[in-house]
Amino acid sequence: MGKGYLSLLCCLLILPLLLASCKEVKQEVEETENLIAKQMLQGIWVDDETDMPFMKVVGDSIYYPDSENLTASFFIIRDSLYVVGADTIPYAIDLQTEARFRFHQFEDNIIALYHSETDEDSLYFINKQEPLPLVTERIEKDSVVMYNGKRYRGYVFVNPSKMKVIKTSIGPSGMLVDNVYYDNVIHICVYTGATELYGRDITKQLFADYIPSDFLSTSILADMDFKGVDAEGYHYEALVGDPESSVAAAYQLDLTITPEKELRIELAQ
């Protein structure tokens, strides 16, 4: 046999292997997870029909707004959302943008969602189901922390007041019933040794810029906790909620007293 024939024979033998290898590489590329689509899905998504939160996506996980705060992992390949559970179930995606997401839950059932821009929707995914604390007598709480070699003591005094909060509901007879609750005034202060570094009374009106007025009017300032000290200042966490609901339906707010003794307020993340 001539060298030319041997070369041709080698090419014919290698060519199928090369084609198979290329096919495997192409298939692997096609099956690679769509990380851009995953990133676009991050956040809270609300059902078009009910305007109720449908799911919250954080990283590789989907959270559902139910009493058990169930979660599942997921990935997206091409035009399908795969939810991992006892079985990995694919859902065909019809539409995905930064603001809209539509997929087939079943063959003839399309779920249409829009991206939430409302902070209140995050309350549906807080995994806290205990009832909101209702205070009938003065409560004192104190915590000791060390920071930069100094010993700090943070105090919280929860004081029931005579400020009424009225909740109207339908009684067993079908008549409207007014239930009366009493709001709290909470005093916070921070000491190092015998020196008071900061102190003030807190009422729920302090959070009027952070909580919708209709919710605030029927809520109570239920609790406060001293969280610690760092370079940013002294940290407290407040809880404002419906007296007939649970902690899951309450607002949590971060309070920071800066080194300049200015009070900074933010909704808790």
Q: pLDDT by residue (tens digit) across 53-64? A: 999 998 888 888
Which pLDDT score, from 0 to 100, does residue 86 have? 63
Q: Do 143 and 247 belong to one domain? A: yes
Q: Do 144 and 114 belong to one domain? A: no
Q: Do 110 and 143 belong to one domain? A: no
Which pLDDT score, from 0 to 100, does residue 248 have? 73
Q: What is the pTM of this model?
A: 0.54
Which pLDDT score, from 0 to 100, does residue 59 have? 86
Q: 10-residue block means of pLDDT along the chain (269 residues)?
A: 40 38 40 88 92 89 69 87 82 94 84 90 71 90 93 96 85 66 96 94 96 92 94 96 83 95 90
Q: Pick from 125, 157, 178: which residue ends a domain?
A: 125
Q: Do 121 and 158 belong to one domain? A: no
Tell whether 40 is covered by a domain. yes
Task: Note the pLDDT tens digit of each residue in 244-259.
Answer: 887 877 899 999 999 9
Q: Do 111 and 231 belong to one domain? A: no
Q: Do 120 and 155 belong to one domain? A: no
Q: Pick from 95, 125, 155: which residue ends a domain?
A: 125
Domain tally, the chain: 2
Residues 12 and 9: their CA atoms lie apart, in Å, by 5
Q: Do 153 and 260 belong to one domain? A: yes
Residues 267 and 264: their CA atoms lie apart, in Å, by 11
**Range(s) of the domain holding residue 104:** 35-125
Nearby residues of 160 by Cβ (< 8 Å), 6 or more positions away:
135, 136, 137, 138, 182, 184
CATH number at residue 259: 2.40.128.510
Tell whether 48 is covered by a domain. yes
Tell whether 250 is covered by a domain. yes
Q: Do 206 and 230 belong to one domain? A: yes
